[in-house]
Amino acid sequence: MAQLTSNGSVPTLADVARHANVSTATVSRCLNSPDQVVGETRERVLKAVRELGYAPNFGARALAAKHTNTVGAVIPTMENAVFARGLQAFQEELGRHGKTLLVASSAYNETLEDEQVRALVARGADGLLLIGYDRSSELYAFLAKRKVPALVAWSYAAQKEQPAIGFDNRAAMAELARLVIGHGHRHIACISAPIASNDRARGRVQGIGDAMTEAGLAPDDLLLIETPYGIETGEAAFRQVMADTPETTVVMCANDVLAIGALRAAREMGVRVPEDVSVTGFDDIEIAMLAEPALTTVHVPHREMGRRAATLMIQMLRDGDTGQSVELPTDIRLRRSLGPARSGDLSKASMA
Amino acid sequence: MAQLTSNGSVPTLADVARHANVSTATVSRCLNSPDQVVGETRERVLKAVRELGYAPNFGARALAAKHTNTVGAVIPTMENAVFARGLQAFQEELGRHGKTLLVASSAYNETLEDEQVRALVARGADGLLLIGYDRSSELYAFLAKRKVPALVAWSYAAQKEQPAIGFDNRAAMAELARLVIGHGHRHIACISAPIASNDRARGRVQGIGDAMTEAGLAPDDLLLIETPYGIETGEAAFRQVMADTPETTVVMCANDVLAIGALRAAREMGVRVPEDVSVTGFDDIEIAMLAEPALTTVHVPHREMGRRAATLMIQMLRDGDTGQSVELPTDIRLRRSLGPARSGDLSKASMA
């Protein structure tokens, strides 16, 4: 392929115009509103674009078109299947509307999330998908000033103004906790991701407290262990629970990955699930069903959430709409890891 | 916080300069080379940036600085833990050097990958991480013309010019196949992702053929089933293998997720693993060890690969270096899913 620019540098709009023998305005029109250019001219311009390896300069193009057809998302981690799954559906639906998704992951770090949001805005993201409500008011103010619509996902709280598509983490976990208490459990432990700047995790822990209060139990008796997301951390937290409060009959984990770690620790310790101790999760990722024993958990419609988030985002971008929040239902998947509370102490004998 | 721009529009560099009572050149210097600005002035400018909600305009800034400190990556899917894990390490290392990572996922679709690469370049990515070598020569030519360094990961082939950090998929799978054949297996089936535009999958299938040839078996006898990535697809493929070629004694899967699906199908069909049929994977993701039975697989150092890819990328960006390719070692994790080949037919009786 011949090098057709005059000086071997990065090809410009003018180079494309010269090569296709049209005006620069025609090249712009071809790239931004191809429908307005007759077929033959369009073909010639696009051929020149291809041959020269021209890519529109963001700055110029954004100024002309006011939008870049790029949507950004900042998620806490790529290593959690729930975000991956929701984003895949989000992207598929955006793709059907000609939009590209760029994703950054913040490692559950608020400062990093802040930087990534600003970087995506600087790179020209038309809109942003963010996970949960918790972030500084400065960042929300920044987005409002920059007129970049932001949609919250994975959380839904009726009283919040920020447009959101998600579910009520607190109510969902309260429902599971009622089922757990219905199985006779009174000594409940909870392993959660750190709750300080994570409204999803915080809501789930509060939900357990709500169900305990309803059942006449003291929510302060809930043993709460906060630990970073991961299988190994869930494993260590389960060991700590059994060492600190051997009277525990159920360990409710705020996500499935921590629960998988708890199941692994139980197996290594010779603690039978659910005969000695029950374990529950939250999310219903694929390994929840494959785990041994299969995990009782809260099923979250991740794909549905991603797909509908895209529909809402497209509407917000097109109509300058503020976005009507959507609450999605969750439901409980009762599997073998939850059983009746054992009576009496966990005998030392049953532990390897 | 007061709205300080003159007309309520998106704040500009000039607005910041006016608010901080400095020249626009000083604002630019503060943003691009803060070390060159005295502390007090810098503080005043950064305060104005915060108060106005100013974010540098990419176009102008890129023209001035020639780089954006953004690195892009296009991966086949976010729903595979191996990419998530490698990218997390890639990002952590980039972050230590003040760079932001933006990720797009192509759903294993070459056309989509092409669009996403061009979108990342248009958004100002300084460099790109791409998975495997397979893509059109036009796309490589485009990147060369735009002078955007591209680093291939997850693949390594000594004869390729493109800088890469990865491992030899073919040699790694050949080593596993030798171990499988050493267990007496002669009737081998392989479940793989589609190999046409995926050099990693293609290499792994070829590796099985290499080991078969060495052992005096005909590589053409390998039953190959190609299916998209996923647990359900692996499950369906295993059922097809057992229906089409019941003489199969081992099913070698080109990745762990397909193998997990195969294990699930085997359990549902009442086929015992490894007594009736052995199953192997590739990648060594976390569930490989948690699966029942635990999965024999090829361990790939995903985090190490991500970390070293970042180091190499930073060097390429800083020095305009072409990048020295790196081959990483893999090793085999022998677990319970691989056993000796059964002798004789898989009796109908043993199947539920």
Whole-number Å distance between alpha carbons of A66 and A75: 26
Which member of B60, B87, B101 has the closest CB to residue A59? B60
3-class SS letters over B73-121: EEECCCCCHHHHHHHHHHHHHHHHCCCEEEEEECCCCHHHHHHHHHHHH
Cβ neighbours of A60 in B, within 8 Å: 59
DSSP string, A200-265: HHHHHHHHHHHHHHHTT--GGG-EEEE--SSHHHHHHHHHHHHHH-TT--EEEESSHHHHHHHHHH
Tell me A282's DSSP state. Answer: S
| Interface contact flag, B290 A286, Cβ < 8 Å | no
DSSP-derived pairing of the beta strands A331-333 and A297-299:
antiparallel
Residue A294 identity:
A
Task: Give the bridge partners for A101, in sequence order.
Answer: A71
Which member of B58, B100, B231 has the closest CB to residue A116? B100
Whole-number Å distance between alpha carbons of A259 and A231: 8
pLDDT of residue A60: 45
Mutate to test the interface with A, among B111, B128, B145, B258 (most CBs of A within 10 A): B145
Q: Which residue's entry shows tokens 């291809």?
A: A50
Residue B242 identity:
M
How big is the A-B interface in CB pairs under 8 Å? 153
Cβ neighbours of B83 in A, within 8 Å: 78
Q: Which residue's entry shows tokens 């600085």?
A: B65
Cβ neighbours of B102 in A, within 8 Å: 72, 102-104, 119-120, 123
Q: Which residue's entry shows tokens 């009576």?
A: A343
User: What ipTM describes this predicted complex?
Assistant: 0.74
> Measured between CA atoms, how close is B218 to chain A, in angstroms?
36
Distances (CA, A) of B143 to A35, A247, B125: 28, 62, 11
| Interface contact flag, B102 A104, Cβ < 8 Å | yes
A71 contacts A313 by C-beta, under 8 angstroms: yes
Mutate to test the interface with A, among B49, B148, B286, B337 (most CBs of A within 10 A): B286
Which member of B123, B146, B286 has the closest CB to residue A123? B123
A100 contacts A317 by C-beta, under 8 angstroms: no
Which member of B95, B112, B142 has the closest CB to residue A53? B142
Closest alpha carbon to A341 in A174, A189, A169, A172: A189
Q: How far is CA A317 from the centre of its chain?
A: 20
pLDDT tens digits in sequence order for chain A, 352 residues long = 333 344 446 677 788 888 888 888 888 777 776 667 777 888 888 888 777 777 665 544 444 445 788 999 999 988 888 898 899 999 999 999 989 999 999 988 999 999 999 999 988 899 999 999 999 999 999 999 999 999 999 999 988 989 999 999 999 999 999 999 999 999 999 999 999 989 999 999 999 999 999 999 999 999 999 999 889 999 999 999 999 999 999 999 999 999 999 999 999 999 999 999 999 999 999 888 888 899 999 999 999 999 999 999 999 998 887 888 999 999 999 999 999 999 877 755 444 4
> Measured between CA atoms, how close is B153 to chain A, in angstroms?
18
Cβ neighbours of A59 in B, within 8 Å: 57-60, 62-63
Tell me A34's DSSP state. Answer: G
Whole-number Å distance between alpha carbons of B344 and B249: 10
For residue A92, give the chain B residue with the closest CA. B107
| Burial (CB count <10 Å: 0-12, 13-18, 19+), residue B41 | middle
| Burial (CB count <10 Å: 0-12, 13-18, 19+), residue A184 | middle
| Interface contact flag, A124 B63, Cβ < 8 Å | no
> Measured between CA atoms, how close is B85 to chain A, in angstroms?
6
Cβ neighbours of A63 in B, within 8 Å: 59
Distances (CA, A) of B106 to A258, B77, B86: 29, 6, 17
Is residue A100 helix, strand or coil? Answer: strand
pLDDT of residue B254: 97
Residue A13 identity:
L
Phi-psi region of B132 (alpha: psi -120 to 50; beta: other; left: phi over 0): left
> Measured between CA atoms, how close is B34 to chain A, in angstroms?
17
B175 contacts B206 by C-beta, under 8 angstroms: no
| Interface contact flag, B119 A138, Cβ < 8 Å | no
End-to-end Cα, chain A, rounded Å: 70
| Interface contact flag, A290 B286, Cβ < 8 Å | no
For residue B286, give the chain A residue with the closest CA. A231
Task: Give the bridge partners for B152, in sequence order.
Answer: B130, B164
> Measured between CA atoms, how close is A41 to chain B, in angstroms?
22
Distances (CA, A) of A304 to A135, A160, A307, B89, B332: 25, 22, 5, 29, 38
Which member of B79, B112, B121 has the closest CB to residue A84? B79
Query: Which parts of chain B register pLDDT below 70?
Result: 1-10, 33-35, 55-66, 347-352
End-to-end Cα, chain B, rounded Å: 70
| Interface contact flag, B147 A121, Cβ < 8 Å | no
For residue A231, give the chain B residue with the closest CA. B286
Enter the tokens of residue A3: 């090098």
| Interface contact flag, B145 A53, Cβ < 8 Å | yes
| Domains with residue ranges and CATH for chain A | 13-65 (1.10.260.40), 70-167+301-329 (3.40.50.2300), 169-299+334-350 (3.40.50.2300)
pLDDT of residue A57: 54
**What Rg value do the Cα atoms of chain B yield, rounded?**
26
